[in-house]
Amino acid sequence: MIKKIFLSFFFTGFLFSAIAQPLTDKTQLEKERKEIQNEIKEIQGLYNKVKGQTKLTLGQLAVLNRKINLQEQYISSINKELRTIDDDIYLSELEIYRLNKQMDTLKSQYARTVVYAYKNRSNYDYLNFIFSSSSFNDAIKRIAYLKSYRSYREKQVNIIIETQQLIAQRKQQQLVRKDSKNAALDNQTKQVEVLAVQKKEKDVVVSQLRSKEKDLGRQIAEKKKRDRDLNNAIVAIVRREIKAAEDKAKAEAEAKRKADELAKKNAPPKVVTAPAVKSENTEKVTAKVESAPPKPVEPEPESKPVVSYLDLNAKDVALNSSFQANRSLLPWPVDNGVVTFTFGTNKIDNLAFDNPGITIATPALGVAVKSVFDGEVRGIYNMGDGMAVTIRHGKYFTTYSNLSSATVSKGDMVKTGQQIGKAGSNEAGNAGQIDFILMIETKNVDPKPWLRR
């Protein structure tokens, strides 16, 4: 009986800990929502600068689109929290029901023990129960039984008290979670209203967009050309680095081959001992050996193709491994900024273009732009409307474009967080902006997953 009660109580404790899991999920949701709120605050500051300006630019539309996307993410986060709260409330109700059923069982079992104790409450009955033993050992067992029975009753009382406390605790948590749900619903309503205002604002801007579509089309065409020229310049740098690494690897392999041949040529001749005198059958054996066909010469194993010439020497291997290990941990190239154009296809109304990296808007032009990892500066070039710096990190290459100036030189070794230049201006000239590109050799990849959130 005691074992059954304890197993039931243990299962209840396990269920209690399982139901507490949504609280951890809520903490994660709150963290995500706080990050979204901070980004919304930053993007709002940028939008206030471009809002209402006479010249409609891609940057203005991008900031507005990003602002609406963040607002939708914020509402989605609230919806996730509401689902988590509903799940928690439902599981809590199940647990309270189970605890109440367990309480009824415990009380019923305890009532039976109380009735039994009342019927046998006379000390004479207990003494008679002990002294009626058939042997001394039997009397000892009966005394131990009476002690165990008393301990069992005390444990029943303790379990009942603890179960009552659990029920009260869960009911209190239910009240707290319901209050949280009401607060989340109020916040959801408020944020949906904000989103509706933003969408109306976007409709006004889109109507202006349609009247100035040619101007924006020209801006997109210019951006595509800048991105293409920039990408070609980076690819040229990468290919030069690969060719230099390949030439170095081949030169080292050729030098090693010549050294091996020279060592083999200068090696002392092997001493051959005279053969021992053999019997009359020696000539026959020798004849058989000479007439035996020669063994086929096994072909030399083909050398494995080089996967990457930028991943051969120990320095590059260590750098590549370290860069890969820091995925999602790399610092942002600017201290404060928000992504206005994402990697890949960006669409604004019926206008679309591909971005080779991410475009980051900064609160002001001239802010410090920093290297995201240790590396070597392999290119500094003027793209016409701004400077660009390309840094090699083994087989990884990062490029920082639209800089007003560069503070490093080609061949410089830079450290993580070291300033390499200053951010240039956006199209309207009222804020800063940089383009950040990440390549694995000649392949463009989305840099955002590599950066710290």
**Within 266-313, where are the H helices?**
282-291
- Same-domain status, 148 and 230: no
Q: Please determine, for residue 323, whether its predicted confidence score (pLDDT) is greater than 90.
A: yes
3-state SS, residue 375: strand
Asked if the structure places residue 95 within a domain, the reply is yes
Range picked from 54-63, 212-221, 258-267 for highest mean pLDDT: 258-267
Least confident interval from 202-211, 212-221, 255-264: 202-211
Whether the predicted model's global pTM rises above the 0.75 cut: no
- The domain in which residue 87 lies consists of 2-211
Based on the fold, state whether residues 194 and 222 are members of the same structural domain. no
For residue 12, pLDDT over 90 is answered with no
280 falls within a domain:
no
Q: What is the pLDDT of residue 419?
A: 97
Task: Tell me the two tokens of residue 350.
Answer: 């019926």
pLDDT in tens, 35-60: 777 777 777 776 666 565 555 666 77
Residue 200 lies in a domain: yes
As a whole number of angstroms, the distance between CA 391 and CA 373 comes to: 9
Instruction: Read off the pLDDT of residues 164-173 as tens digits, 9 standing for 90 and up.
Output: 777 787 778 7
Residue showing tokens 């019997």: 279
The pLDDT confidence band at residue 401, using thresholds 50, 70 and 90, is: very high
Domain boundary among 190, 211, 232: 211
Whether residue 170 contacts residue 96, with contact meaning beta carbons closer than 8 Å, is answered with yes
Residues 429 and 338 in one domain: yes
Examine residue 299 and state whether it is found in any structural domain, yes or no.
no
Q: Is residue 255 part of a domain?
A: no
Candidate from 31-45, 116-130, 284-298 with smallest mean pLDDT: 284-298
pLDDT in tens, 15-27: 444 444 444 566 7
Q: Looking at residues 102-106, what average pLDDT do you find? A: 76
Residue 203 located in a structural domain: yes
CA angle centred on 430, ends 347 and 223, rounded to 5°: 35
Write down which residue in 188, 211, 234 finishes a domain: 211
Domain match, 22 and 126 both: yes
Q: Give the torsion through C-alpha atoms of 234, 240, 244, 250, to 10 deg.
A: 110
Residue 76: predicted pLDDT: 87
pLDDT tens for residues 342-398? 999 887 767 778 899 999 988 888 999 999 999 999 999 998 878 999 999 999 999
Q: Is the domain of 124 the same as that of 95? A: yes
Residue 135's pLDDT is what? 78
Q: Are 46 and 173 within one domain?
A: yes
Q: Looking at the structure, do residues 179 and 219 belong to the same domain, yes or no?
A: no
Say what percent of the chain tops pLDDT 70.
Answer: 75
- Would you say the C-alpha torsion 44, 49, 52, 58 has a positive or negative sign? negative
Which residue has better confidence, 282 or 442?
442
pLDDT (0 to 100) of residue 181: 82
Show the 3-state SS of 420-441: EEEEEECCCCCCEEEEEEEEEC
Is there a domain that residue 354 lies in?
yes
- Residue 291, in any domain of the structure: no
Shared domain check, 238 and 164:
no
Please tell me whether residues 77 and 219 are part of one structural domain: no
d(CA 163, CA 168): 9
- At 268, which amino acid appears? P
3-state secondary structure of 401: strand
pLDDT tens-place string over residues 57-72: 667 777 778 888 888 8
Asked whether residue 224 falls in the same domain as residue 207, the answer is no
Cβ 106 vs Cβ 160: under 8 Å? yes
CA 383 – CA 238 distance, rounded (Å): 17
Query: What's the number of domains the chain is made of?
Result: 2
Contact at 8 Å (CB) between 407 and 421? yes
- The DSSP line for 304-371 is PPPS-GGG-SHHHHHHHHHHHHTTTTBPPSSSS-EEEE-SEEEEETTEEEEESSEEEEESSTT-EEE-
Alpha-carbon distance of 307 to 295, in angstroms, equals: 35
Query: Based on the domain organization, do 436 and 402 belong to the same domain?
Result: yes
Alpha-carbon span 352 to 220, nearest angstrom: 8
Same domain? 161 vs 225: no
* Closest by Cα among 442, 236, 432 to 333: 432
Residue 208 has pLDDT above 60, yes or no: yes
For residue 14, the model assigns a pLDDT of 44
pLDDT (0 to 100) of residue 421:
96
**CATH number, position 437:** 2.70.70.10
Q: What is the CATH number of the domain that holds 18?
A: 1.10.287
Q: Which of 375, 356, 323 has the alpha carbon at shortest distance from 446?
A: 356
